[in-house]
Amino acid sequence: MKRAALYMRVSTLDQNPDSQRHDLEQMAAQRGLEIVERYVDHGVSGTRTRRPALDEMMRDARRGHFEVLLVWAGDRLARSTRHFLELLDEFSRLNIEFVSYREQLDTAGPLGRAIIVIIGVVAELERNLLVERVRAGMRRARLEGRHIGRRPLDLDQEAIRRDRARGMSLGQLAKAYHISRTTVRRVLAPAPKGVPQPASQPQENRRPETAA
């Protein structure tokens, strides 16, 4: 007997998920499934990709707590096509069968498996397109001379060391130079052997001494 989970969602708090639960429990009984968990999101829009019950259900799915997921309709699980495809793609990778009561979609059957193959191809194509868009944006930024990534801190390390020698605390230095205490400690830390210290401020040229 396969372990099954039910996922139900209602958009408003005054709606009742009992009708969804009744249909799904009846379907599970007909298929000889053991219901091990019921997840319900109350008053949550399907457009939101993060929902308390949905997040809990996905965590349990990744831990192998159930083998079949039953939903009353596809839009109870996700409203956007992209999110729906992402979820089905992950269920496929986790070897979890997905069954929708209203659409009569069952990924355990031949048609369902064919749909999962198509979904997997579409999901992989979307991931590749996203990677290519990111790379194209980085190439365009380089051509335009824009900096990519986090800018390095421009610190006057000698000034920080002088202020430390004058008795300023780590907190005072961090506040004065708008940096974290960790950065202050890194600046004040002695350089490893073989690594030259940053060049200090140039001293004023002294007049050469003349012979008496």
Q: Give the active site residues.
A: 11
172 is written with which tokens? 């005072």
Report helix angle 157-165 to 181-188, nearest 10: 90
DSSP letters of 114-171? HHHHHHHHHHHHHHHHHHHHHHHHHHHHHHTT---SPPPP---HHHHHHHHHTT--HH
CA gap 207, 212 in Å, rounded: 15
CA gap 70, 34 in Å, rounded: 12
41 is written with which tokens? 């999101």
3-state class of 41 per DSSP?
Answer: strand
Q: How many CA atoms lie within 13 A of 208 on its CB side?
A: 2
Report helix angle 170-177 to 157-165, nearest 10: 140
